[in-house]
Structure 1
Amino acid sequence: MLRLRNEQLTIWDSILPKEVLELSPELKTVDRLLDDERFMEPFLSHWNIRIGRPTVPVETYLRLMFLKFCYGFGYETLVSEVSDSIKWRRFCRVDLDALVPHSTTLIKLSQKYGDEIIEDLNKKLVTKASQEQMTRNRRLRTDTTVTESNVHYPTDAHLLADAVKTITRQANRLCDQVSGTVPKMRNRFRSTKKRILEIGKTLKRRSHEAVQEVRNITDKLVDKAIETISDAHRIMDKVEETWGEQISPALKNTIEKLDKLIHTTDKIVNQTLQVNSGKTHIPQRVISLYDPDARPIQKGKLKNPTEFGYKTEITENEDRLVTDYKIHIGNPSDESLLLGTVRRHIENTGRIPYAVATDRGYSSGKNEAALTELGIKRISIPKKGKKTQKRQTHERQRWFRRLQAWRAGGEGTISILKRKYGLGRSLLRGHRGVSIWVGFGILTYNLRKLAAMN
């Protein structure tokens, strides 16, 4: 049963002195912002269930997640810190004689509510700030960055070894659930480990022959992975044949997980065979068995030529409030994203910006024409490639150069979001998980920004 607020008063509200219950100016402003009823609407529209046990109050959940991303706590540390602080309990609307929600409860609630609700909350906060004139929206700047997945550096050999281990464990777990009526899978851990160690020793030679040897060893790992997949299919078929329609939900869930692992491993096997045959450019390359949506992304950085994760698009106004964000799988061109970004900004703020500033990655005649049609007066996007004399004169204008100087400040916002609010690396997996993680980071940043402005 969905519970929005904790409205029960306790004796502590009247006994404790006001100095103990008084919140800091920032928390007081954030508390006032989150008290708006519009932040309850996404939860009511998606999860308005009137049966079952009462959930953690939505107002408590939102405030706990704000503290988590504000201070970079883990879930267990968050629960411990809030339990020990009277003021944080007061802010989160947790009674002094009540338990703070358990860390696993918060994890499950984040997965349950999903990325759509978090995106809705960010939109409503931006709309509220615009309607109440807390922020200006005359200028817009947008840029993209990479939110990395929490995975080790991917190589085909290590991915195959991970696949063999994970499928074996999941298949044996399935055998345990059916009380040993199906024989367990053969353990290939030791042989895969030997192949990985062989690769490490071979690569020390740094010769062309060593590269060919590594490919031969990788072929052996491919064979091990194919054998493991075959054994897993045999076990699943045997379980379904034995249990038929009497398969329990828990057993069905294990089979679905195993089937998903096999499907991802098939992709890894196919891309490894392509690489060994000489084809190194694979558009939808899988880089993790546990995060199959993540992709290798090259942004032209000297320090990190290739990053592994998701492309994150961030749009902000002149008050450095993030008015829109989007998580993309792979590396779509910036040029194809601009128009959708500006339209979402207009929808969220309710106002057409006077000026738009981006880097040259967004440059195209089609984009500039479309922005002009939307009613934008100043468009500061440097043109790619060779420029005509007319274009050079246009880009030397004072307003164009001032907008470009202002646009460079967006790199600072991205740096803060990555360093302080968790956008550098997501600890949740999959496109949905990364969207939840980034959404909460941006919501926390926006709340603190509005609190500082007011």
Structure 2
Amino acid sequence: MIAQTFQDAFSPQWLKTHLPDPTNELITLRHIIPWQAIIDRLVPFYNTQKGRTGQPLRTMVAVSLIARLRQFSDRRVIKEIKENRYIQYFCNVPDAILKTCMHPTTLSTFRKRLGIQGITFIEEEVFTHLRDAHAIETDMMLQDSTVLESSIIYPTDVRLLYKAFDKMAIFAKQAQIEPWWDQAQIKKLWRAHNLDGSKPLAYLCAFHLLFEAALETFAEYQQNLPDGSLKTQSQPLLDALLILDEQTQLKLEGQTHIPGRLVSLDDLDARPIQKGKRHPKTEFGTMLQLSFNRQGFMITAENFIGKPDDKKLYAPTLERFRKRMGASPSGAVTDLGYRSPKNLRLSHEDLDWVLMGERSDVEEAHQEAALKARSATEGFIAVAKNLRGFGQSLYRGLEGATIWTSLNQCAYNLKKLLQLYHSELLSEQTRMALRL
């Protein structure tokens, strides 16, 4: 059961006593974010008649946003609410329940309940409000891709096989089965491998022989389990270990390029992604496709497994940009990775001009603006990765990466709005429209 509305938890006297700085960014954001519109979208995720009354949606959304705005973990953000009056005000947590307001695991439960769809609703409502207030302009589309790294240890073939035994040990414990391999032998071989780096293929072959025998027994145990949660939960692990077995055999046969190579048993969707930059040459995670407008607002953000061809992503991203903004940009800026005759024709039909990595793509009248926009794109990507949390996802799997991306996109745009708001680049009419 969940409340469908919210009440302001603070009196004017409380504000005067505890919030001496009326220009604080959290006070500004509290009056800009469309709380009720977000709550209306999220209420259907709960039963409004049955069950124990949950945490107010107004508070849950605010805590999720402040965690991404300030780059806090779940545990840290709850601690900050109790110590920082501005954060307390932003999250609408009254003094009466401040000490026991929420447990950190409640945030994880909240994200699981909403899933990708619910978290996307939060981002959509904030974005729509900023767009409808004319804070976000449609002038041009800046498009580029990067890597959303997964929080995994650097993968090696031997390490993956060693990790596979750990995963099977967890299964054995849950199924109340004694491990069916010699764990002492595995540890001895692992220590020898770490001390001797001169024979990697020899150790890989030794690990693989032990792993194949253990995998065959694991498959038998898994298939003989009674239908239930353990059998269902262990099936993805079995599928992953079969893939690991196949790719290890290919590696031992001398193959160096293995399509769709598994690099982690903790994050099965992570992939090795070759970068155009010299260092690091390869990153491990998901492909992150971003588009911005010239102000620096992030208009679209999508995650993909592996590294799809940028050329194929150009048209769908342009269409998403148009749909979100409700209008077509006058121009588009990309790098050479998106360049193809088809994309150039598409751009010239639908846009006034386009830069796809070459100055000659653009008439002289637009060249300076287009080249500056291309440089700005690199800056926006750098800010997103290094300052706004897009450098590495703390969630596992493509679904987790998408939830992480959606929350970060919302926080990124709110931070961008604050920069414009406090620099007085927004008109007074836009400011009034933003403040609900």
TM-score by length of 2: 0.89
Distance 1:237 1:337, change over 3 A: closer
Deviation at 1:382, TM superposition (A): 2.8
Letter in 2 for 1:325: A
Equivalent residue, structure 1, for 2:426: none
Letter in 1 for 2:140: R
Equivalent residue, structure 2, for 1:223: 209
Equivalent residue, structure 2, for 1:439: 406
Gaps (5+ residues) in structure 2? 422-436
Superposition map of 1:333-352 within 5 A: 333-352=309-328
Equivalent residue, structure 2, for 1:178: none
Tell me the matched-pair count: 418
Deviation at 1:151, TM superposition (A): 0.5
Deviation at 1:159, TM superposition (A): 0.5
Equivalent residue, structure 2, for 1:387: none
What is the rounded CA distance, in whole Å, between the counterparts of 1:194 and 1:296 in structure 2? 29
8 A Cα contact 2:27 2:86, kept in partner = no
8 A Cα contact 1:322 1:446, kept in partner = yes
Equivalent residue, structure 2, for 1:26: 25
What is the rounded CA distance, in whole Å, between the counterparts of 2:353 and 2:38 in structure 1? 34
Letter in 2 for 1:35: P
Tell me the SS of whatever aligns to 1:409. Answer: helix
Gaps (5+ residues) in structure 1? 176-182, 241-246, 384-391
Equivalent residue, structure 2, for 1:131: 132
Letter in 2 for 1:16: W
Deviation at 1:27, TM superposition (A): 1.2
Tell me the SS of whatever aligns to 1:143. Answer: strand
List structure 1 runs of 4+ shifted beyond 6 angstroms.
none
Distance 1:134 1:270, change over 3 A: same
8 A Cα contact 2:4 2:40, kept in partner = no
Q: Residue deviations 1:213-262, cap 9 Å, x none?
A: x323212212222232233334345542xxxxxx7xxxx32332222212
Q: Residue deviations 1:27-86, cap 9 Å, x none?
A: 122112223533234314554653212222222112112221222211111111101223
8 A Cα contact 1:6 1:93, kept in partner = no
8 A Cα contact 2:335 2:356, kept in partner = yes
Tell me the SS of whatever aligns to 1:327. Answer: strand
Distance 1:17 1:135, change over 3 A: closer
Equivalent residue, structure 1, for 2:172: 171
Equivalent residue, structure 1, for 2:428: none
Superposition map of 1:5-24 within 5 A: 5-7=5-7, 13=11, 16=14, 18-21=16-19, 24=23
Equivalent residue, structure 1, for 2:51: 52
8 A Cα contact 1:156 1:272, kept in partner = yes
Deviation at 1:187, TM superposition (A): 5.0
Equivalent residue, structure 1, for 2:144: 143
What is the rounded CA distance, in whole Å, between the counterparts of 1:35 and 1:157 in structure 2? 51
1:3 matched to 2:9? The reply is no
What is the rounded CA distance, in whole Å, between the counterparts of 2:35 and 2:80 in structure 1? 26
8 A Cα contact 1:287 1:296, kept in partner = yes
Q: Residue deviations 1:321-377, cap 9 Å, x none?
A: 111111111001111111111111111111110111111111111112222333x11
RMSD across aligned positions (CA): 2.3
1:406 to 373, 381, 390: 373
Deviation at 1:402, TM superposition (A): 2.8
**Which 10-residue stretch deviates more, 151-160 or 60-69?**
60-69
1:305 matched to 2:281? The reply is yes
What is the rounded CA distance, in whole Å, between the counterparts of 1:141 and 1:277 in structure 2? 44
Q: Residue deviations 1:365-412, cap 9 Å, x none?
A: 1112222333x11111135xxxxxxxx755572413430222211111
1:191 to 141, 166, 185: 185
**Which 10-residue stretch deviates more, 61-70 or 352-361?**
61-70
1:160 matched to 2:154? The reply is no
1:329 to 288, 299, 305: 305
Distance 1:188 1:282, change over 3 A: same
Deviation at 1:162, TM superposition (A): 0.4
Q: Residue deviations 1:283-306, cap 9 Å, x none?
A: 111000011111000012222111
Distance 1:373 1:393, change over 3 A: closer
Tell me the SS of whatever aligns to 1:422. Answer: coil
What is the rounded CA distance, in whole Å, between the counterparts of 1:92 and 1:62 in structure 2? 8
What is the rounded CA distance, in whole Å, between the counterparts of 1:308 and 1:140 in structure 2? 27
8 A Cα contact 2:225 2:231, kept in partner = no
1:319 matched to 2:312? The reply is no
2:349 to 358, 373, 377: 373
Equivalent residue, structure 1, for 2:430: none
Equivalent residue, structure 2, for 1:91: 90
Equivalent residue, structure 2, for 1:382: 357
What is the rounded CA distance, in whole Å, between the counterparts of 2:49 and 2:241 in structure 1? 42
Letter in 2 for 1:233: A
Distance 1:124 1:369, change over 3 A: farther
8 A Cα contact 2:347 2:353, kept in partner = no
8 A Cα contact 1:165 1:188, kept in partner = no
What is the rounded CA distance, in whole Å, between the counterparts of 2:320 and 2:174 in structure 1? 46
What is the rounded CA distance, in whole Å, between the counterparts of 1:57 and 1:415 in structure 2? 35
Tell me the SS of whatever aligns to 2:136. Answer: coil
1:235 to 221, 226, 236: 221
Letter in 2 for 1:333: D
Distance 1:8 1:124, change over 3 A: closer
TM-score by length of 1: 0.86
8 A Cα contact 1:338 1:367, kept in partner = yes
What is the rounded CA distance, in whole Å, between the counterparts of 2:150 and 2:203 in structure 1? 28
Letter in 2 for 1:371: S
8 A Cα contact 1:164 1:188, kept in partner = no
Deviation at 1:17, TM superposition (A): 5.7
Distance 1:36 1:239, change over 3 A: closer
